[in-house]
Amino acid sequence: MGKGITLKIRTEEVFAFSDGMYRFVRELADSVLLLQRQGTGKEIQVTESDLIDQLGRGEVIRLRDRRDRKGRPIVDPDQVSPDEKPEEVMRAKTLLFFVRAFDADTSVGLGDVGLRKLIKRKRDDANRKGLTFEFSPDTLRRAIKEKGAPGARHLKDFISRRGRTRRVRLDLTIEDMLTDAVDFYWGLRSRDKKDAWAFLISELKKVNAERKTAGLSKLHPPKDASTLYRRINATNCKENHARKYSPHEANQAWQGVSTHLDATAPGELVIIDHTVVDAWVLLDDNGIPLGRPTLTVAIDVYSRCILGFLLSAEPPSVYSMATVIKHVLMPKTYVKTAYPDIERPYDCWILPNTILIDNAFEHVSASLRDAGDDIGFEVHYSPIHSPGHKAIGEKIFDTLNDFFHKLPAAVPYDVTTMRKARLDPRSEKPVYHRDLEYFLHRFIIDQYHYRLHEGIGAVPARRWDEGIQRHGREFVDDFNALDQLLGKVDEASISRAGVKFRNMRFHDADLTTEILNDMVRLQPIKSLTTKTYGQVRARIKVKYNPADCSKIEVWNEGAEPKRYVTLPNVDQTMTRGLSFWAADRVREHAKELDLEYSSEEERLLARDSLRRAWEELAQVTPRRTGADARRGIAQETPTVIEGVVRFTQAEPSVYGNAQPIDLPALTRANSSEKPVSTLRGGEKTKAKMRKAAQARAAASGETETAPVKPVAKPEKEFFLPPAAKAPKRNPYDLDGEWK
C-alpha cells in the first residue's frame, strides 16, 4: 500500500487549472488525487508530485474558501447567499447603490427635498444596471443612518433580517431578577458588572433551592452575562449615574456646558486664582531652595490681559490676594526701571468693578470684603467644587505652565511619570527667584499680551487699549491708602498704653491720645469707667499686613475726616521686615530654648537663632518642616512686585480719560464694624452651625431645645428610561405574546 498525500487539502476545495476549475473529490491510492471539473462533471486523476510541480510553476492556483475559527465559510460582504429571494436581493442592491451615491455627494443633506433630487438624478443610472426597486426618501434616510458607515457599506448589511432570528423568551422570574441585578449595580460605586452578574447567579441559586423544595422545575440563567450587561448599558443615564457615583460627577458627565463668564469693558470682571509653579526656585541672597512657589494671577475677562500677579513662598492667603489686588490697582511704571530691556508697555491697571475668587477657606475672609467696601469693588466667590465656573482663570495657568516647563528644574509631569522618566528637578540647577520674576514679566508683556488669543479672537493688548479708549479707566485718588485699606481686618481695644494685638504692643503717645480723644465719645456708656482717674478704653477696627508686624492701621471713625492712623510696634528693631507668622515662631523658638523674651537684645538673639535654624533646616529637610523654614526665610525677602506695590506712586493716564473716585471708606455707614465672615458649605454648614448654637444655648441654660431626630432618607430605586424598559408579558396570555 502506497503512502498518502502530504498536502493538507480539504474535500470540496477548488483548484484553477488552465482549462477550468476542478474540485477535489477524494484521495486515491499511491498519492493520487481525484478532481472533478465544475460545470461538466469531468473527472481527472493527478498525482501529488505533478500537482506540486504545477503549483510551483504557477500553472495551478488553489482557491481557498475563507472560514472563521469555527470552520464556517466567510461570505464576501458584497455577496449574498443563493437562497436569498431575488426581490430581496434587488431591494438591497438598489439601496446600496443610492446610499453610496449619497456618500459620494457631500452637497446632499438628509432632508426629503435633497433625497428626492438625489433619487431622481441617479434613477437612470440605476435602471441601466437593472436596479429597479422603488422606495421613498424616508427608506433611504434610514438606510443611510443604520446600514454601515461611509466607505464601509456592504450588500449583506442591506439584506433584511426580519423574521430570521428566533426570539428567546426568558421566564418572568428571571426577568424580575435581571431588573434586581441592574438595580444592584447602580446602587453602589464599588460594584461593577461582574459583581451584578455574580449577584444574579447567587440569587438564582436561592430561588432554585426554594423551587426544588416546592417540587417546581429548575430555572436557567440567561445564556451569558451579555444579556445583563446590555440591560445595564441601556439604563445608563444621568439619574442612575448620580445615584451610583455623585450628583457632581453626573453633572460633569451629562450636563451641557454653559456659556463662560463675559464682560463688556476692561475691569468689569477680574478673576484671581493661584497655582503651584511647575519649577524649583532658589532664594536670591543665600541660594536656599525655596521649593515650588505659589503664583497668584489676576486676569481681565474682557481683554484676557494679566493685570497683576505675585510669585511668593507664602501659601494662598488673604495676604497674597491683597498684594495682587494692589498690583491690579497701581500703574506698572516699575517695569521700565527694574527691567529696562522690556520695551513694550505694561499699561494694564485699573480699579475693577468685580473681583471673582475661588471659594476656598483661605480666601473666604471678612478682610477682603471689607477692603472691597473701602476701596470700591465687589468680591464674588465662585461656586464650591466648580472650577469650570472660572475656566478663564484656570486656562491661563495652562499657558503659563507651558512657559515654566521650559525652565531648568521644571516639573512638566505628574509624580508617577516623573519617576518613570527618571526626572528629578531637585538634582538640576534651579532658577533664582529674581530671575523667574524677570522671565515671567518678559513672557507676559512681550509674548502673551501680543499674540492672538483664541478665546476672544483678538490680541489682548490691542483689546485692552481699545477698551480703555472707549470706556475710560477708573482709579482711586490716594494710592498711599491702599496699604491701609487692603490689610487684614480685626478688632482690638486701645488704652493709654496703646493697642495690645497678637502678643505685641503698638503705641505712639501722641497718636494714641488723638485716637482716644476721637473714639471714646462714640463708645457705649456702659463700657466707660465711672472713676474720674481711671483710664479710658475704646473698641477699634484695625487692619494689618500679615507680612509686616512693625505697624498696624487703626480706623479713627471719630476724626474729621475719617481716616486710618498708623500705630508703630514699640519694638521697631526686632520687628522691622518681620511677618506676624515669623514673629510668632520667634516667640515659640525663644520659649523652646528657655530664652528670656523681654529685653530688645534678647529678642534679637532669639530672632537670629531662629534664622540660623531655618537656614540649616531648609537645606536638609525637603518636606513639611523644610517648607515652613523656607517660608520663614522668604518672608524676610520682599519681591519686586511687593516692593513696587508698597512704594510706587500713581501717574496720570496716557489717554487722559481716567476717572478718579473718592474712597468709599470715608463715607461708609458701618466703617468701624468688622464684617461677618462668609459661610461655606451651603445648607449643611448652616444646619451644623444652628445645631452648635442650640447646644451652646442648652449648655448655658438659656433655652430648652428638643433633640433633633435624624430624618431617614428614602431609599432610591434606579431610574429606568422608557426606551430601556424590559418588555412585559401578560401571564394570562396563553399565546405568549408580548404586550
Q: State yes or no: pLDDT of 115 exceeds 70.
A: yes
Phi, psi of 247 (to 5 degrees): -60, -35
pLDDT classification of 240: cutoffs 50, 70, 90: very high
Q: Which three cell numbers stand for residue 427?
A: 538634582
Structure confidence by residue, pLDDT tens digits, 463-503: 999 999 999 888 887 776 676 666 777 889 998 889 999 88
Reported in sequence order, the residue ranges of 208-303 that DSSP labels E, i.e. its strands, are 270-276, 281-282, 289-291, 294-300
Decide: helix, strand or coil at residue 573: helix
Least Cα distance to 325 among 278, 267, 366 occurs for 267
Cα separation, 273 vs 394, whole angstroms = 8
Q: State yes or no: pLDDT of 353 exceeds 80.
A: yes
Q: State yes or no: pLDDT of 95 exceeds 60.
A: yes
Structure confidence by residue, pLDDT tens digits, 612-662: 665 665 554 444 445 555 555 455 444 555 444 433 333 333 333 344 444
pLDDT at residue 474, rounded to an integer? 87
Cα separation, 718 vs 241, whole angstroms = 9
Q: State yes or no: pLDDT of 186 exceeds 90.
A: yes
261 or 602, which is more confident: 261
372 or 339, which is more confident: 339
Other beta carbons less than 10 A from residue 423's beta carbon: 14
Q: State yes or no: pLDDT of 507 exceeds 70.
A: yes
Q: Where are the domains of the chain?
A: 86-158, 166-264+718-739, 270-481+644-666, 580-634
Whether 668 contacts 674, CB under 8 Å: no
Whether 669 contacts 500, CB under 8 Å: no
Q: Which three cell numbers stand for residue 90?
A: 434587488
Q: State yes or no: pLDDT of 104 exceeds 50.
A: yes
DSSP type of residue 569: B
> What percent of the chain has a predicted confidence (pLDDT) above 70?
66
Structure confidence by residue, pLDDT tens digits, 680-704: 556 676 777 788 878 877 776 544 4
* Predicted TM-score of the model (pTM): 0.50
Structure confidence by residue, pLDDT tens digits, 552-582: 889 888 888 888 888 999 887 767 667 787 7
Whether 565 contacts 556, CB under 8 Å: yes
Cα separation, 286 vs 615, whole angstroms = 9
- As a whole number, mean pLDDT of residues 99-107 equals 84
Cα separation, 54 vs 58, whole angstroms = 6
Q: Which three cell numbers stand for residue 38?
A: 465544475
pLDDT at residue 660, rounded to an integer? 42
Lowest mean pLDDT segment, chosen from 54-58, 235-239, 353-357, 674-678: 674-678
Q: State yes or no: pLDDT of 148 exceeds 70.
A: yes
> What percent of the chain has a predicted confidence (pLDDT) above 90?
15
Helices of type H across 487-579 = 509-519, 572-575
Decide: helix, strand or coil at residue 613: helix
CATH of 270-481+644-666, one of 3.30.420.10, 3.40.50.620, 3.40.50.300, 3.30.70.270: 3.30.420.10
pLDDT at residue 731, rounded to an integer? 38
Burial of 605: CB neighbours in 10 Å, binned 0-12, 13-18, 19+: middle
pLDDT at residue 52, rounded to an integer? 87
pLDDT at residue 668, rounded to an integer? 58
pLDDT at residue 405, rounded to an integer? 64
Q: State yes or no: pLDDT of 1 exceeds 70.
A: no
Q: State yes or no: pLDDT of 134 exceeds 80.
A: yes
pLDDT at residue 199, rounded to an integer? 94
Give 387's Cβ-side CA count (13 Å radius): 8
Who's near 704: CB < 8 A, 6+ residues apart?
A: 698
Q: Measured between alpha carbons, how far apart are the two ends of the chain, in Å?
A: 69
pLDDT at residue 300, rounded to an integer? 92
Q: Cα-atom radius of gyration of the chain, to the nearest Å?
A: 41
pLDDT at residue 234, rounded to an integer? 92
Q: State yes or no: pLDDT of 713 exceeds 60.
A: no
Structure confidence by residue, pLDDT tens digits, 522-536: 877 666 666 666 678
Q: Which three cell numbers stand for residue 73?
A: 465559510
Q: State yes or no: pLDDT of 734 exceeds 50.
A: no
Q: Which residues pair with 307 in a beta bridge?
A: none
Cα separation, 738 vs 729, whole angstroms = 5
Q: Please tell me which of 3-12, 326-335, 678-687 the model is most confident about, judged by mean pLDDT.
A: 326-335
Q: What is the DSSP string of 297-315?
A: EEEETTT--EEEEEEESSP
Q: Which three cell numbers stand for residue 448?
A: 502673551
pLDDT at residue 536, rounded to an integer? 81
Cα separation, 21 vs 138, whole angstroms = 45
DSSP type of residue 73: B
- Whats the size of the chain, residue-wise? 739
407 or 134, which is more confident: 134
